[in-house]
């Protein structure tokens, strides 16, 4: 695959590491990034500990073109992403004037209390990411984009972010689901992969309605290359008399 | 919180980073590890690339007491976890005799084909992790435990693993759900956290049945400490006339 713009996702939150909450944001961010031609190369989940956030941000922002963080930008004591990002970049942590104005307008008079004001303490000169759902903006510093942890709010903020991300052609994918087990097709599938080295071919077993199956996922930014792989896969599928399955 | 046994989770698989599949295994592993007194300090998701797996395993196994990997131990070309673990530990990658016997018995005569035999190529002297669901075992090398990616199979293998993990007292948690927003309770909750520094208190906004709420999660291995926090939280909740919510 040609050199594409890449990104890492950093999920910040004890609730994911305790198992209490299942992470939905990696999937949301990945699908969106793929659609604008950015490949996600790594995702990390770390606890609400300043040192861990600083270390992870400083490590990831140097390796990848973009870093997207999720979580820790709310008003409570365990929301320490903004101060940690300021520390990671060694810049001041202060009230963001533009952010202040946004929230001052958003809340009724008298409701813009101390807790809410915490949400517009940010790294100096951070660029705001507008929040159409609940007012409090996210922000970016250089190639690091900080979004909230609540999945529906995060999702609503991606539209406003698109112009800040330079991606490439969308990464296309095609899935072929088969009534078989992986070991029956492993050898033939390896041959197809070897014949098409610049296409990513994944094989994923599934159980559905009590039956075993395998989904083969072909990914590339080039639809023609996907079609060539598909033809080669369907050839051995026919030869082996394997049934195709309709699967969502 | 006292020094507890800790662990990292390493999810190996392009399907998570493409957003196609939502990761369920981090949550399963975290809940199980918590129940046997092991704190999960980090989770990473990386693609099916040998170099990435070797680097991540070698970095995580030195920082944390245990590393649990998920994915990449099946029969297809994209299953490269076992060879990567062998490389990470600089040990040979070969047919595991005990594993071979298990799968030879598991499959009908003639069905133990080349694809399936790939599944018992492992790092030399790896310790097997039995698989009650689908035969093919996982394995461990020192403090690194390798499990499959299919959530139901991974889950079924944890029972057989318990004796290999030295944990501590289970980490207990208690959740108080409130009909409020975070900014209303942020200051009071910070005070409770400051008065109970060795207890982990998290605050998580939620939307349920069209209404906003906040879940406060108190975590500690000591039920008494949890109870003390709960009392202090319920005090300010009563004072602020905030309603409690029944939430799963």
Confidence of residue A248 (pLDDT cuts 50, 70, 90): low
Say which residue, B66 or B210, is predicted with more confidence.
B66
Chain B interface disruption, residue of A25, A115, A148, most B CBs within 10 A: A115
- pLDDT for B218-229, tens place per residue? 999 999 999 999
- Picking from B43, B76, B182, the nearest residue to A182 by CB comes out as B76
Residue A1 binned pLDDT confidence (cut-offs 50, 70, 90): very low
Is B14 in contact with A200 (Cβ distance < 8 A)? yes
Residue A208 has pLDDT above 90, yes or no: no
pLDDT at B1: 43
* B43-64 pLDDT per residue, tens: 999 999 999 999 999 999 999 9
The mean per-residue pLDDT over the stretch A138-163 comes to 95
Q: Do B115 and A19 touch (CB under 8 A)?
A: no
Which residues of chain B have a CB within 8 Å of the CB of A23?
22-23, 26-27
Q: What pLDDT, on the 0 to 100 scale, is given for residue A49?
A: 97
Residue A2 has pLDDT above 60, yes or no: no
Partner residues linked to A212 by β-bridges: A207
Dump the DSSP string for chain A: ----EEEEEEEE-HHHHTSSS---HHHHHHHHHHHTTEEEEEEEEE-S-HHHHHHHHHHHHHHSSEEEEES--SSSTT--HHHHHHHHTT--EEE-HHHHHHHHHHSPTT---HHHHHTTEEETTPEEEEETTTEEEEEEETTEEEE-SSHHHHHHHSGGGGGG----SPPEEEEEEEES-HHHHHHHHHHHHHH-TTSEEEEEEEEETTEEEEEEEEEES-HHHHHHHHHHHHHHHHHTTPEE----
Q: Is the pTM of this model over 0.90?
A: yes
Which residues lie closer than 8 Å to B204 by C-beta, 6 or more apart? A15, A21, A149, B214, B215, B216, B217
Please check the confidence at residue A3 and state whether its pLDDT lies above 80: no
Mean pLDDT score, B67-73: 97
Q: pLDDT at position B8, please?
A: 98
Question: Residue B26 and residue A21: Cβ atoms within 8 Å?
Answer: no
- Min distance A209 CA to chain B CA atoms (Å): 14
Determine the distance in angstroms separating the CA of A140 from the nearest CA of chain B, rounded to an integer. Answer: 22
Domains parsed from chain B with CATH numbers: 5-164 (3.40.980.10), 172-244 (3.30.70.2860)
For residue A154, pLDDT beyond 80: yes
- Chain A residues whose CB is inside 8 A of the B13 CB are 202
Residue of chain A minimizing CA distance to B33: A18
Helix axes B182-195, B223-239, angle to 10 degrees: 140
Of A40, A150, A186, the CB nearest to B115: A186
């Amino acid at each position: 695959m040609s050199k594409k713009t890449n990104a890492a996702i950093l999920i910040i939150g004890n609730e994911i590491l305790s198992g209490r909450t299942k992470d939905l944001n990696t999937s949301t961010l990945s699908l969106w990034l793929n659609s604008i031609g950015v490949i996600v190369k790594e995702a990390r989940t770390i606890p609400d500990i300043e040192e861990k956030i600083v270390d992870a941000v400083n490590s990831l922002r140097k390796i990848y073109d973009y870093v997207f963080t999720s979580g820790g930008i709310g008003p409570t004591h365990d929301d320490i992403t903004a101060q940690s990002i300021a520390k990671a970049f060694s810049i001041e942590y202060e009230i963001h004037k533009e952010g202040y104005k946004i929230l001052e307008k958003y809340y009724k008079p008298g409701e813009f209390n101390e807790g809410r004001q915490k949400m517009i303490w940010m790294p100096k000169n951070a660029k705001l990411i507008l929040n159409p759902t609940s007012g409090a903006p996210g922000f970016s510093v250089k190639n690091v984009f900080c979004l909230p942890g609540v999945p529906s709010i995060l999702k609503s903020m991606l539209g406003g972010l698109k112009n800040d991300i330079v991606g490439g052609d969308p990464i296309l994918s095609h899935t072929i689901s088969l009534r078989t087990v992986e070991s029956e097709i492993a050898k033939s599938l390896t041959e197809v992969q070897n014949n098409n080295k610049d296409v990513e071919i994944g094989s994923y077993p599934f159980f559905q309605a009590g039956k075993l199956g395998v989904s083969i996922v072909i990914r590339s930014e080039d639809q023609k290359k996907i079609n060539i792989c598909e033809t080669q896969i369907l050839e051995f599928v026919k030869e082996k008399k394997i049934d195709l399955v309709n699967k969502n």
